[in-house]
Chains A and B, each alone.
Chain A
Amino acid sequence: MSWLLAFPFLLPTLAALLTFLARERARLARVLSVGSCGLLLLVSLAIFALVESEGVLAAQMGGWPAPFGITLVADRLSAVMLLVAAVVGLTVAVFALSDIDPLHEQLGFYSYFQLLLAGVCGSFVTGDLFNLYVWFEVMLIASFALLVLGGERIQLDGGIKYVAMNLVSTLLMLTAIGLLYGLTGTLNMAQLHLALSEVDNPLALDLLAVLFICAFGIKAAIFPLFFWLPASYHAPPVAVTAVFAGLLTKVGVYALIRTFTLIFPAGDGLAHDILLGAALLTMLTGVLGAAAHYEFRKILAFHIVSQIGFLILGLALHSPLALAGAVFYMVHNIVAKTNLFLISGTAQRLTGSFELAEIGGLYRASPLLAALFFIAAFSLAGFPPLSGFWAKFLLIKASLDQAAYWVAGVALITGALTLFSMSKIWAEAFWKDHPANACAGLATLSGADRLQRLLPVVLLALITVALGFAPEPFIDFSLAAAAQLLDPGAYLAAVLTPPAD
């Protein structure tokens, strides 16, 4: 069954080709885009079920055994990341039917979108560091195109900053990979784990660790490397921002988690001090940025940065509970964040702007949208009993267990400030009256628009609520995923054991 592991990136790649050929025939391209995302979700579910029942899955591409060929691996972390990526892909694909105009469709929006998903899914399943670089580049070039598609002034301006920073990250990653190869002679992640434990050169290891932190840190938008994110995320259409917000930075975090649990196994030392410091500063600077802004999407973009801090915190604390917290937080955050951006798109359609000063009246005009925003926003702020509460609870409990009281303090302050900036959106966009009394209700949208805009949002909100009210199975899963990360025995066995025949 291990051939299944190639499908998460083969399907979107194929769909990208087909939608490119069909870009003049919008209806066909739309069906292909949503259909491929639906299939991707089924495949991810199958992989998730297999990993749960049979343990770590590995597939050797082309029949070359590791470490000579490229290995695809899925452990619990990969499986759950694939699953949420597929959920985000499907919901955004449906939302895009209403949000993306014919011009963007003709320019090939669906192809780039599918290519982005291929890059994201490829990064999650690969077991080879150089292959990870290749998937990062697939993702990157697709995101470049999505960001500037249409070529408005604001997009070009934001796009330049995004491209400039991300190209540096690419080069750092490439250099780090080259030097790591020089040190160990392998790029297979499982073999790197074994090879690096025998390297007796702490200076070289620290240097490489810092290079990887910088390279992945730019992608993950950690302090002080995040400035490209708030500069560009509010420029493209909402569907694009939503998929960026849900997946792009999280791939960087995933790469950091993978690198600093599997490849550099030690849970202390320079790398973890840097990660801990960066995590705290990321949490605080991000949320302060959100508190200062008065534009719907800019506030949300700064929140992404702040939430990344929590994820890195889980990695830096490096205890089973902390890593479980990071896994839980990742899933909760991807779902809630994507949802908030989708809601901001519909809010803009109804009120005419993203500027909080120019909008209002949404609570009266469309109470359903207000309720959905309430769920996502207050989950992100960590309100019980929504999913964000449990995510924050796990991380704060983990830091208290390690007697890192000030870490817990920073996390709680960040939570409070998140609540402040969310209530700002709530008060301005939902509660106060529209300055020009021009807030339309959901009923003014056409039936298809309403369905395409609300269905994804409702689905994501349901996941948030389900994770919040019945967190126990998922906390158990996160703990199991964390145990797998801290003890890579099963991962190594699955990759390095030659096939039986």
Chain B
Amino acid sequence: METALAMVVGILIATGVYLMLARNLLRYLFGLILLSNAANLAIFTAGRLTRASPPLIPEGLQAPEVAVANPLPQALILTAIVIGFGLLAFALALIVRAYRQLGTLDADTMRVAEPETKPKRGRKRS
């Protein structure tokens, strides 16, 4: 199972990186979304997989009797999903806003903050 999930993570990262290499910002964002899912899945897999054994402690005992699934990675992923959702939603809103104001989604033509013209020399040469 770990091998299968590791391969899924690999495929997600490969697809994500491929999308991120595009100049179109929306593709870049979709790539990021895939990468963030890959990261979450990697944490899940790194926490070891235990099938069909929820981390519940029987009544009256102090610890579970058999090997149970590790709940910590799931808690971490839950946090990461929420944070990732917020960040990616912000990024999407930013891209929409930038498209409206700058009129383009092509990263190569976004040169407002870094104009291609040579920086102005300080002193006027006479």
Using a CB–CB distance below 8 Å, which chain A residues touch chain B? 130, 133-134, 137, 140-141, 144-145, 148, 151, 153-154, 156-161, 163-164, 167-168, 170-171, 174-175, 177-179, 181-183, 230-232, 234-235, 292-295, 298, 355-358, 424, 427-428, 432, 435
Q: Which residues of A are found within 8 Å of B43, using beta-carbon distances?
A: 174-175, 177-178, 181-182
Assembled-state Cα–Cα distance A153/B104 (Å): 12
Known: A157-B98, A163-B91, A164-B25. 15 other contacts (CB 8 A): A134-B79, A144-B94, A153-B101, A153-B112, A154-B113, A157-B111, A159-B98, A160-B25, A167-B88, A168-B32, A175-B38, A178-B39, A179-B46, A358-B120, A428-B122
Q: Are B102 and A153 in contact (CB under 8 A)?
A: yes
- Counting residue pairs across A and B whose Cβ atoms lie within 8 Å, the total is 129
Q: Mark B40-61, 1 if CB is under 8 A from A, else 0.
A: 1011011110000000000000
Assembled-state Cα–Cα distance A81/B109 (Å): 40
Assembled-state Cα–Cα distance A178/B5 (Å): 14
Q: Are B47 and A181 in contact (CB under 8 A)?
A: yes
Q: Which residues of B are found within 8 Å of A170, using beta-carbon distances?
A: 87
Assembled-state Cα–Cα distance A424/B28 (Å): 39
Assembled-state Cα–Cα distance A158/B80 (Å): 26
**Which residues of B from 77 to 113 have beta carbons under 8 Å from A?**
79-80, 83, 86-88, 90-91, 94-95, 97-98, 101-102, 107, 110-113
Q: Which residues of B are found within 8 Å of A159, using beta-carbon distances?
A: 94, 98
Using a CB–CB distance below 8 Å, which chain B residues touch chain A? 25, 28, 32, 35-36, 38-40, 42-43, 45-48, 72-73, 76, 79-80, 83, 86-88, 90-91, 94-95, 97-98, 101-102, 107, 110-114, 119-124
Chain A: minimal CB distance from B38 (Å)? 8
Of B28, B47, B76, B101, the contact of A164 (CB 8 Å cutoff): B28
Most buried by B among A140, A181, A292, A298: A181
Of B38, B83, B110, the contact of A137 (CB 8 Å cutoff): B83
Assembled-state Cα–Cα distance A145/B89 (Å): 13
Assembled-state Cα–Cα distance A231/B42 (Å): 32
Most buried by A among B47, B87, B88, B97: B87
Q: Which residues of B are found within 8 Å of A157, using beta-carbon distances?
A: 98, 102, 110-114
Q: A141-B87, A151-B97, A163-B91 are in contact. Are A181 and B32 (CB under 8 A)?
A: no
Q: Are A294 and B46 in contact (CB under 8 A)?
A: no
